[in-house]
Homo-oligomer: A and B are copies of this chain.
Amino acid sequence: VTIQDIDTPAVIIDLDVVERNIKRFQSYCDTHHIHNRPHVKTHKIPELAALQLSHGAVGITCQKVGEAEVMAGTGVSDILITYSLCGRGKLTRAMALARRIKLSVTCDSAPIAEGLSAVAASAGVVMDVLVECDTGLGRCGVQQPQDAALLGTLIARLPGLQFKGLMTYPLPGRVAETSAFLAEAKRRCVYAGLDVVVVSSGGTPSMWQAHAIEGLTEYRAGVYVYNDRGSLRSGAARPEDCAMRVATTVISRPSAERAIIDAGSKALSSDQYGLDGYGAVLEYPEARVSALHEEHGFVDVSGCATRPEISERVHIIPNHACAVTNLHDSVVGVRGEKIEVQWPVAARGKLA
């Protein structure tokens, strides 16, 4: 079986590039004495988590309990869930995990902290909790540095919980603001008598500026393992660092300007991120993936000197690797044209 025999659309992963990406960021973290805790939402593959850990990651990051369950089931022993857990079912599952592995979670409000405390205390578990800080993204997180100290104090007092530090997902590129918020929040926590062991930031766009965040102890990057058009735009990666591509076949050439490929939004996702189009066609750099229907990709080939023909196979660098992962049951790992492995995306669909 060669790479050409795989029915399209299919996700192809260049394993040499993945390994290089993992090594390069681990080396950066080692140089700057930052703990590397990669986010597995990008790949959702236990074998890749194991590879990241074997290269020096201190643990992994998950966004959902279901992802953590899959990863813990394959032997990962230190997981941070960067999410406010809520609801009896999910909390019960998290406590079951916390009995087996080192599990930390994040929290940005008293109701979430109290919910965690109630189940942790009754389960006889002590769970590490980081206070999530909104350092500029405008998503979750306490809004002011002093709120981090207030919530941290509550967490430290609640049974079953241990305050461990601060966590943010920053607005990409805003290193100074991120740093200032976290430093002030830490100062307020220390003043309140809290021990801030962990200061954790994340995101591939700003990963090479992690060392510029004052007091940072840990970094969580996800996309860097594969990279995508988003990584290229942020400058976090070069074209040769892109390990993921979606193999697709031209199934129709209804007109001179239009090629239709068999990868649509169900294979590439509709994530656009303000980028032009829905992916970059490796073999035809002038082609533009102008629109996606569910199972059809529209490619404007009017700018191409030579144009793809029906049944021709082309490869797309997606806009957003994490979204692609989440659509496919498996990926094909290759070295050059040789298939080395096919991995199930074991944590795919673990939404809760």
Contact = CB atoms under 8 A, between A and B. Distances in A.
A258 interface: yes
A195 interface: no
Nearest to A111: B310
Nearest to A246: B351
Contact of A266 (B143, B253, B351): B351
A26 interface: no
A112 B253 CA distance: 11
B7 A90 contact: yes
A26 to B, nearest CB: 24
A87 B249 contact: yes
15 contacts: A7-B87, A84-B251, A84-B252, A112-B310, A134-B254, A139-B252, A139-B293, A141-B252, A141-B254, A143-B254, A266-B326, A270-B270, A270-B272, A327-B349, A328-B349
A64 interface: yes
A74 interface: no
A108 interface: yes
Range class of the A interface residue count: 35 or more
Which of A63, A329, A351 lies at the interface centre, i.e. has the most chain B CB atoms within 10 A of its CB?
A: A351
A311 B91 CA distance: 12
Contact of A323 (B138, B251, B294, B348): B294
A83 interface: yes
A175 to B, nearest CB: 20
Interface string A92-113: 0100000000000000110110
A132 to B, nearest CB: 8
Interface in A257-304: 258, 260, 262, 265-267, 269-272, 293-296, 298
Contact of A86 (B266, B311, B322): B311
Contacts of A140: 251-252, 254, 260, 296
B84 A323 contact: no
B9 A352 contact: yes
A323 B115 contact: no
